[in-house]
Chain A
Amino acid sequence: DAMVIQNPRYQVTQFGKPVTLSCSQTLNHNVMYWYQQKSSQAPKLLFHYYDKDFNNEADTPDNFQSRRPNTSFCFLDIRSPGLGDAAMYLCATSRDGKETQYFGPGTRLLVL
């Protein structure tokens, strides 16, 4: 089945220790998104790729970076995680950005 896969599902890191979250998709969608979601809040868009074009949200901290080496993979790098970065990180894809977004199962990040 075509799907969006995120690894790991759970990540524990230490304050200030860099961490990388990964997302892969078999849908062949050209748009990929990274969201941060905290408890009882809406998903917050961090950035997205339209093909290879990177689009950063104005309020996304510099601490968050992303890489998309090819159509199928996208990575979220958190350079120096703080306690406030503990959240669920959701990867999503869509075709041309105008249709439904399909989400991966998320990575739950805990910062100690």
Chain B
Amino acid sequence: RKEVEQDPGPFNVPEGATVAFNCTYSNSASQSFFWYRQDCRKEPKLLMSVYSSGNEDGRFTAQLNRASQYISLLIRDSKLSDSATYLCVVNVGRNYQLIWGAGTKLIIKP
């Protein structure tokens, strides 16, 4: 089993719709969690950190479920510019490294 797993998609979603995807992690000792966004042929950029209490940033909401060991990302009122790959990243606290998921590809259609 991979340490961090994501549905690769692609998720094809009409503009204005709400979309959500999950990411599961295997190490129960994982300490911190992030969502990164990566545009085609560009570097990953931090979208948001995921806190135990959940957090919201505009149209984006991230949740953490420690009992079931997954994090989620919800995007409301999706825009064409939201089309990208969303990477789930988990810090298991060993030797300063992050464990990356392979990403979920999102395509917003007009």
B68 proximity list for chain A (CB < 8 A): none
- On whether A31 and B96 interact (CB within 8 A), knowing A103-B43, A103-B45, the answer reads yes
With contact pairs A40-B102, A42-B100 given, residues A90 and B95 touching in the complex (Cβ less than 8 Å): no
Give every chain A residue within 8 A of B34 (Cβ-Cβ): 100
B interface bracket (residues with beta carbon within 8 Å of A)? 20 to 34
Which of chain B's residues have a CB closer than 8 A to the CB of A68?
Answer: none
Judge whether A43 and B44 touch: CB under 8 Å. Answer: yes
Beyond A43-B44, A90-B43, whether A101 also contacts B98 by CB under 8 A is yes
Interface status of B49 (Cβ within 8 A of chain A): yes
Partner of B101, one of A33, A42, A55, A101: A42
- B-chain residues with CB within 8 Å of residue A104 when the two chains form the complex: 43
- Write the B47-84 contact mask toward A (1 if CB under 8 angstroms, else 0): 00100000000000000000000000000000000000
A100 to B34, CA, bound (A): 8
User: How many pairs, one residue from A and one from B, have CB atoms within 8 Å of each other in the complex?
Assistant: 47
Q: In this assembly, does B91 line the interface, its C-beta being within 8 Å of a C-beta of chain A?
A: yes
> Is B29 part of the contact surface with A, judged by Cβ < 8 Å?
no
Question: Interface extent on A, as a size class?
Answer: 20 to 34
The B93-109 residues at the A interface (CB cut-off 8 A) are: 95-98, 100-103
In contact, A97 and B96 (Cβ under 8 angstroms): yes
Query: B41 on the interface (CB 8 Å rule)?
Result: yes
Question: How far does the Cβ of A84 sit from chain B's closest Cβ, in whole Å?
Answer: 18
Q: Is the CB of A98 within 8 A of B91?
A: yes
> Smallest Cβ distance from A6 to chain B, in angstroms?
9
Chain B residues engaging chain A, CB cutoff 8 angstroms: 4, 8, 32, 34, 41-46, 49, 87, 91, 95-98, 100-103
Q: Which residues of A contact B (CB under 8 A)?
A: 31, 33, 40-43, 45, 48, 50, 55, 88, 90, 94, 96-98, 100-106, 108
Given known contacts A94-B96, A100-B49, what 5 new A-B pairs fall within 8 Å (CB)?
A40-B8, A55-B95, A97-B97, A100-B46, A108-B41
A sample of 26 cross-chain residue pairs with beta-carbon separation below 8 angstroms, ordered by A number, consists of: A31-B96, A33-B97, A40-B102, A40-B103, A42-B87, A43-B44, A43-B87, A45-B98, A48-B96, A50-B96, A55-B95, A88-B41, A90-B44, A94-B96, A97-B96, A97-B97, A98-B32, A98-B91, A98-B96, A100-B46, A101-B46, A103-B43, A104-B43, A106-B42, A106-B43, A108-B41
